[in-house]
Amino acid sequence: MTLVFNELVCGYGGTVVVRGVSGEVRPGHALAIVGRNGVGKSTLLKALAGQLPLTSGDIDWNGQALGDKPLHARLGLGIAFAPQENVVFGELTVADNLWLHLDDRKADRYEEVFRHFPLLQRRLDQRAGSLSGGERKLLSFARTMGLKARLAMLDEPTEGVQPENIDRMAAMINRRKASGDSFIIVEQNLEFVAAFADTVLVLDHGEVVLQGSFAALGRERIEQHMVV
């Protein structure tokens, strides 16, 4: 299933943040969105996920125009979203967070997740709000992967996460890609980006300034647009 977005314009109130951004994600591919802080990366992802309305432009999912379908409706279509902030429900346990959007609690849904991140399995009964910031990010990533969506959108998933777990996250993403799932990920960690991304979209002031494979664009060229 392919997501295509054309000439997206969106923002907050009267302030335009994203200015005419286009791209696509095909089955088994991953798109990384990178750039300095404040250039519109999270705003673009929220618009793609249905959390923020478009001013103009269109988003097409497998031949279906998404229009103004809200976040929960897109989840029903196979599109999952993990935000940058407020990533878990702190008063709930780790287990409750993992199964929150699911009709059953079959353990095999998270078998792969627990194999990569045994810490989460050991802390199933722990209140999510008592986890460290990096552990909460890991829980958010795990919950998103457990939804088994055909397209997962993640905003800064590695923020505060230990390096060994970042490597495991990349490995999981690549395995899901091999089965035909796709990803759109906002990320600052270029080592992580290089490990999973088929296409890199570099934003600056809400516009696309570079787009292509990580290898074709080159790390130094990408980094030039990430320096404050």
The pLDDT tens digits for 72-105 are 899 999 999 999 888 899 999 999 999 987 887 7
Return the pLDDT at 14.
86
Cβ-based neighbours of 215, under 8 Å, separated by 6 or more: none
Percentage of the chain lying above the pLDDT 70 cut:
100
SS3 32: strand
Return the pLDDT at 228.
62
pLDDT averaged over every residue in the chain:
94
* Model pTM score: 0.94
CA dist 189 → 144, 158, 172 (Å): 19, 8, 17
The pLDDT tens digits for 105-156 are 777 889 999 999 999 999 999 999 999 999 999 999 999 999 999 999 999 9
* Domains of the chain and CATH, by start: 3-84+149-223 (3.40.50.300)
Q: What six digits make up the tokens of 92? A: 């709930």
